[in-house]
Chains A and B, each alone.
Chain A
């Protein structure tokens, strides 16, 4: 068990190192002198300004030294200064992380509860219910989040006036964005749940349980759903990790002041330190969540415990 965790964490660190290297090195892939790129374009480049950039990035050092220095700073929480806001990137992030985390958590609750419920319903009821859930989820995966966002805003925000349009930080403000973010995830989870339940239902031990006189409800809860839990939890974890990247679109559509809009703004204003920091943060969070999912697996499936 301990070696398993250690191996996972080592894999996590290796992937993080590789991605951080790519994120850092990207500045050098840009056409032209990195200093111009890091300064955010060609306008108002005074020699003093360029010198400041050079100093900030230690551009005169060898590449590897620069990378290690940058990585060391990032690990200790110093993510550099934003060119646009002229502020510490770390401070910008701390101000925005709560909104984004709140959004992801809200959406996660929504898609887990409704996605699993719909999947179970489709698997247990079958027939028309099943067909309706399948058709609905097929449609839900085909609507890009930003289109769903605009549709929700026009209907519930403007037309009916039930929800505030854009801005804010309350749960109320986050409801429409969370629904938008949860929609695609909900479709995936309900499909995985349905599929896993249908597969489990065909297994012999379920027939054995039925043959021992257990009621259908208990069979569904104690055997079919319990057996399907492994894939469901795994998928919920992976999809939650994917939501982190999804916030970029949804926050932009609802003009929420979160990490996602910070990233979009940074790219559109060539604020590379912020771009680097946000990407690093998102990738780290994504990989951390997916690793966590793998570590949780043995708690659900005892067979995974002895395999290690």
Chain B
């Protein structure tokens, strides 16, 4: 997963960057203003409008139960964006703590963290998440926590790498000489100084997290009906597809793809700028 971020060639197209940023602002605004902006309630069933095509009444059409797709997309943006945010919060708190600890104390702490991350890397994250879901039951919370744990090693590894170079800098020694404890230095100086790099990395992971979470919902492991989570919408829309109605899958599908593309475009640009700043 890190590969995507590091090997992508520097495509400097500010236009793409601006489009992506504008689109994301729109999505976030839509999610926040959903109660005001949405023409219908997300779960308002109207069988008269079943599989309605795009029309003034239903701008993006309606699904099998006649629920307005635009409204569902707007409300769905809430869960679809908060989910990845929550999973990254879990993963980054744990990952940064582990990575920093490994870099600061080295020795057995480092060995332990490295060993655990290596084992986690040894098999696909999806399977780990599936196991957690199998044990603790389906649902958004389980999916988010499981994915958060699955992403932790990635962030720990990344943090450790930056922290090791950062710890070698003289200012860290300066604080140490002043008699500050390791914990204080880490929390007050080390972590804030790495924040820029870590946040840049999180932006790239956000798109990926959104994709993973939507996939889990699609498989039925994450959000449950009647939620209008985008992944779940695709799953529910599949039945309509065979009847020749594509909007119920294509609208949420396109929403997911566009948001992920936007995050990747922005993430790549952030990574480029970070790379330019630290040669």
Contact = CB atoms under 8 A, between A and B. Distances in A.
Contacts of B275: none
B261 A147 contact: no
A26 B135 contact: yes
B215 A263 contact: no
Contacts of B218: 144, 146, 249, 252-253
Contacts of B246: 154, 158-159
A248 B253 contact: no
Interface in A71-101: none
A31 B237 CA distance: 33
A263 B130 contact: yes
A134 B11 CA distance: 8
A194 B3 CA distance: 13
Interface stretch (A60-68, A102-110, A220-228, A282-290): A282-290
A150 B237 CA distance: 9
A203 interface: no
A144 B208 CA distance: 9
A245 interface: yes
Main secondary structure of the interface of A (DSSP, over half): helix
Interface stretch (B50-58, B85-93, B105-113, B118-126): B118-126
How many interface residues does chain A have, given as a range?
A: 35 or more
A272 interface: yes
B156 to A, nearest CB: 18
Interface in B216-233: 218-221, 231
Interface string A13-54: 001001100110011011100000100000000000000000
B241 A267 contact: no
Interface of A: 15, 18-19, 22-23, 26-27, 29-31, 37, 130-131, 134-135, 138-139, 141-147, 150-151, 153-154, 158-159, 165, 188, 191-192, 194-195, 241-242, 244-246, 248-249, 252-253, 263-264, 266-268, 272, 275, 279, 282-283, 286-287, 290
6 contacts: A37-B135, A141-B264, A150-B250, A245-B126, A249-B219, A290-B122
